[in-house]
Amino acid sequence: MSKSATVLEQHRSHPSNKTMRALVYGGPGLKKWTEAPKPQLLHDTDAIVKVDITTICGSDLHILKGDVPEVSIGLILGHEAIGTVESIGTGVKVVQVGQRVLVSCVTSCSICRFCREGRFGQCLNGGGWILGHLIDGTQAEYVRVPYCDTSTYPVPPGVSDEELLMLTDIVPTGFEIGVLSGAVAPGDVVAVVGAGPVGLSAIKTARLFNPRSIVAIDLDNKRLDQAKKFGADVVVNNGTSDPLEQIMKLTGGLGADVAIEAVGLEATFELATTLIRSCGHVANIGVHGKPVSLHLEKLWEKDVTITTGLVDTRTIPNLLGLVESKKLDVSDFVTHRFKMDQMIEAYDTFSKAGTTGALKVTLTP
Ligand code: NAD
Ligand code: ZN
């Protein structure tokens, strides 16, 4: 057994009478669905939430690849959940025991300099992306949610848990870091590199702005088929065709107005920067574990804007409104459904999307 696996065993080998099942990280390449201590209230603004539905994110796969070194061995992964509030701290003012809530992947203290601007991802008081990253996450029977009043949303009637789950991370990510940061405008030609759940979220929410054409680029034909269903007008397999040629054809040789990177690799970031027209926007969503080359020698005189970012989930209220009023359909992301005890099988299915066709997998107790 590797050293990390031994640490994993030791970390979780003392089941008390207050235990639960959870997906525990054991270092790069290692994970285990195992017994873990049930979370307790630590601060007066915390809630303990019973997880009714959770999912796996591309970022969890990055963690398991070792791309996110700050994740410590023994941590429970997962940052997306809909759940029922089991207990609350004495300082909680809004959230109530028994209430069903959407748990945002990003935690907000609500009062720091960044939270006051809606930039919850940059929270200075221990918020930001902490669930399943810096503190135990949602791939478990229970999760402790810090600053629960400002980091959860009441579940509205008439929207399914599966749809709500898509609003905890991927749809706000595609929308905020792709479409809004990329400043998609009516009539634009939008290139989206990577048609995973996040790229598809960017495609779906870009449609809200009535672009002229959305071009989805991926190596996986299954994903490209999904991209068409999600609203892409043109799909390009960059393993077999040249996306630049296609974009140039579509734009009379100018280049894309907006290029959204939704993979997290050097090659895909570089591709996004080659597809862009002068004065266009490159919006990087991908989580990068390695440095990328930025070809300023070509880009400097093109007046290109390049944005990066961690999702804030500040648009959850708007997105909830769009979903509630049926103006945005997010019911088609879930391809596979599992029970929590099948967590390892769910990870296998999700990580082999090329063969399984998985987009989002759900896990319920
Ligand atoms: P995913 O792995 O499911 O999808 C990535 C897609 O990229 C796949 O369809 C894959 O076939 C495609 N791909 C891989 N290599 C490619 C290449 N060379 N050229 C073209 N396509 C290629 O991931 P996802 O869940 O959709 O997430 C996408 C990225 O967004 C990840 O890096 C994830 O960590 C990141 N993310 C960022 C934030 C944020 O706040 N910025 C939040 C959530 C996720
Ligand atoms: Zn804050």
pLDDT tens-digit map of 137-164: 999 999 999 999 999 999 999 999 999 9
Ligand 1 binding pocket mutation candidate from 175, 198, 287 (most atoms within 8 A of CB): 198
For range 167-178, the mean pLDDT: 98
Q: Distance from the CA of 302 to the center of ligand 2, in angstroms? A: 36
Same domain, 148 and 200: no
Residue nearest to atom 39 of ligand 1 (CA): 310
CATH of the domain at 326: 3.90.180.10
Same domain, 140 and 151: yes
Structural domain span for residue 191: 171-307
Pair of tokens at residue 336: 């596979």
Which regions of the chain does DSSP assign to beta strands (E)?
A: 19-25, 31-37, 47-55, 81-88, 100-103, 142-145, 152-154, 189-193, 213-218, 234-237, 256-261, 276-284, 305-307, 334-339, 360-364
Residue 3 pLDDT: 40
Residue 247 pLDDT: 98
Same domain, 85 and 189: no
Same domain, 141 and 22: yes
Same domain, 42 and 186: no
Which amino acid type is present at position 266?
A: E
For range 43-49, the mean pLDDT: 98
User: Could you identify the atom of ligand 1 that is nearest to the CA of residue 197?
Assistant: 26
Same domain, 74 and 143: yes
- Pairing of β 81-88 and β 305-307: unpaired
Instruction: Tally the residues of the chain.
Output: 365
Same domain, 69 and 129: yes
Number of structural domains in the chain: 2
Which pLDDT band, with edges at 50, 70 and 90, does 16 fall under? Answer: very low
The per-residue pLDDT of the chain, averaged, comes to 94
Which pLDDT band, with edges at 50, 70 and 90, does 288 fall under? Answer: confident
User: Could you identify the atom of ligand 1 that is nearest to the CA of residue 223?
Assistant: 9
Contact between 227 and 252 under an 8 Å Cβ cutoff? The reply is no
The CB of 265 under 6 Å from ligand 1? The reply is yes
Same domain, 164 and 184: no
d(CA 69, CA 291): 14
Which tens digits make up the pLDDT trace of 322-356? 999 999 999 999 999 999 999 999 999 999 998 99
Contact between 138 and 78 under an 8 Å Cβ cutoff? The reply is yes
d(CA 36, CA 127): 23
Ligand 1 binding pocket mutation candidate from 55, 56, 59 (most atoms within 8 A of CB): 59
pTM higher than 0.85 for the full model? yes
Q: Distance from the CA of 196 to the center of ligand 1, in angstroms? A: 6
Same domain, 318 and 302: no
Same domain, 247 and 322: no
Same domain, 77 and 164: yes
Per DSSP, what are the bridge partners of residue 284? Answer: 261
d(CA 253, CA 189): 12
